[in-house]
Amino acid sequence: DAGVTQSPTHLIKTRGQQVTLRCSPISGHKSVSWYQQVLGQGPQFIFQYYEKEERGRGNFPDRFSARQFPNYSSELNVNALLLGDSALYLCASSLMTRANTEAFFGQGTRLTVV
């Protein structure tokens, strides 16, 4: 079975540009979450979607947005990129959003803003 897949694996963008990251969850998983991990830190929660609805949002500016599609895949968009947005962006999927549900992570997209 395929795990969580993210694309692209790496990309380089210039300050002020916009970027779209993509995530395909494990088949049957309806919840997708996005995390940002800067070097040396643990992942920080950005968004959670369940059944195509936003169920949670972390402390990130409005430049960050996301959506979930009918097939439960998801996109994370970041506008007006800043150098500080350089990070590993992780997508996690799970069957549901309950506290005792295991989350499965993809390998992430490494974004470098120059």
Give the nearest distance from C-beta 37 to another protein in angstroms: 8
Q: State the Cα–Cα distance between residues 81 and 26, nearest whole angstrom.
A: 29
Q: Which two tokens stand for residue 36?
A: 């940002």
Q: Which is nearer to another protein, 13 or 30 (CB)?
A: 30
Give the nearest distance from C-beta 15 to another protein in angstroms: 26
β-bridge mates for residue 6, sequence order: 23
Near another protein by CB under 8 A: residue from 26, 87, 92, 111? 92
Under rule CB under 8 A, residue 99 binds another protein: yes
Under rule CB under 8 A, residue 45 binds another protein: yes
Cis peptide leading into residue 70 (ω within 30°): no
Measured over the CA atoms of residue 14, residue 20, residue 24 and residue 25, the dihedral's sign is: positive
β-bridge mates for residue 77, sequence order: 20, 65
Question: What are the residues binding another protein (CB under 8 A)?
Answer: 4, 33, 35, 40-45, 48, 50, 55-56, 58, 90, 92, 96-100, 102-108
